[in-house]
Amino acid sequence: MRGLPRPGASLPAATHGGAEDEVVTDRAVSPIAEIYPLMGQAELAELADSIHRNGLREPIVTRQDGTVLDGRNRLRACEIARVTPRFVEFAGTDREALEFVVDTNSHRRHLSESARALVAARLATFTHGGRRDGNAAALLTQRDAAERLGISERSVRDGKVVIDHAPEELVDDVQRGLIAVRAAAELIRAAGKDKVLVAEYHRLRRASGSTEWYTPPHVLNLVTELFGEIDLDPASNEGEPWVMARAHFTRADDGLSRGWNGRVFLNPPWDSQGSPGQWVAKLVDEYTAGRVTEAICLLPARVNTAWMDRLAPYARCFVRGRLRFGDATGDAPFPVVLVYLGARIQEFVDVFGGLGSCYRQILPSPATV
Tell whether the model's pLDDT for residue 112 goes beyond 90: no
Most confident of 97-111, 197-211, 264-278: 97-111
Identify the pLDDT of residue 330. 58
Coil, strand, or helix at residue 285? helix
Q: How far from 222 is each of 328, 348, 352, 353, CA to CA, in Å?
A: 20, 9, 7, 10
Q: Using pLDDT thresholds of 50, 70 and 90, give the confidence band for residue 272.
A: very low
Compute the mean pLDDT over every residue in the chain, rounded to the nearest whole number: 82
pLDDT in tens, 308-360: 899 999 999 999 987 777 655 556 666 889 999 999 999 999 999 999 999 99
Identify the pLDDT of residue 331. 62
Question: Minimum mean pLDDT among 76-90, 206-220, 234-248: which range?
Answer: 206-220
Domain ranges of the chain: 23-110, 217-360
Question: Minimum mean pLDDT among 144-158, 198-212, 250-264, 267-281: which range?
Answer: 198-212
Q: What is the dihedral of CA 46, 51, 52, 56, to 10 degrees?
A: -170
* 126 Cβ contact partners less than 8 Å away, ≥ 6 residues apart: 31, 32, 35, 94, 98, 132, 138, 139, 140
Question: Minimum mean pLDDT among 135-149, 171-185, 256-270: which range?
Answer: 135-149
* 351 Cβ contact partners less than 8 Å away, ≥ 6 residues apart: 222, 225, 226
Tell whether the model's pLDDT for residue 10 goes beyond 50: no
Question: Minimum mean pLDDT among 3-17, 63-77, 318-332: which range?
Answer: 3-17
- Region 224-236: what's the mean pLDDT? 94
- Region 108-134: what's the mean pLDDT? 75
Q: Which of 365, 309, 364, 362 shows the shortest CA–CA distance to 337?
A: 309
Q: Using pLDDT thresholds of 50, 70 and 90, give the confidence band for residue 53.
A: very high
Identify the pLDDT of residue 210. 53
Q: pLDDT exceeding 90 applies to what percent of the chain?
A: 41
- Region 41-52: what's the mean pLDDT? 92
Question: Minimum mean pLDDT among 136-140, 240-244, 284-288: which range?
Answer: 136-140
Identify the pLDDT of residue 241. 81
Class of domain 23-110: alpha beta
Tell whether the model's pLDDT for residue 24 goes beyond 70: no
Measure the CA angle with vertex 252, ends 218 and 210; round to 5°: 50
Q: Which of 255, 260, 301, 294 shows the shortest CA–CA distance to 278?
A: 255
Q: Using pLDDT thresholds of 50, 70 and 90, give the confidence band for residue 15.
A: very low
Higher pLDDT, 158 or 329: 158
In CATH, the number for domain 217-360 is: 3.40.50
Q: Which of 159, 169, 35 shows the shortest CA–CA distance to 97?
A: 35
AA identity, residue 192? G
Higher pLDDT, 296 or 19: 296
Tell whether the model's pLDDT for residue 297 goes beyond 90: yes
- Looking only at the bridges linking them, the beta strands covering 356-359 and 315-319 are antiparallel
Q: Using pLDDT thresholds of 50, 70 and 90, give the confidence band for residue 259.
A: very high
- Region 122-132: what's the mean pLDDT? 68
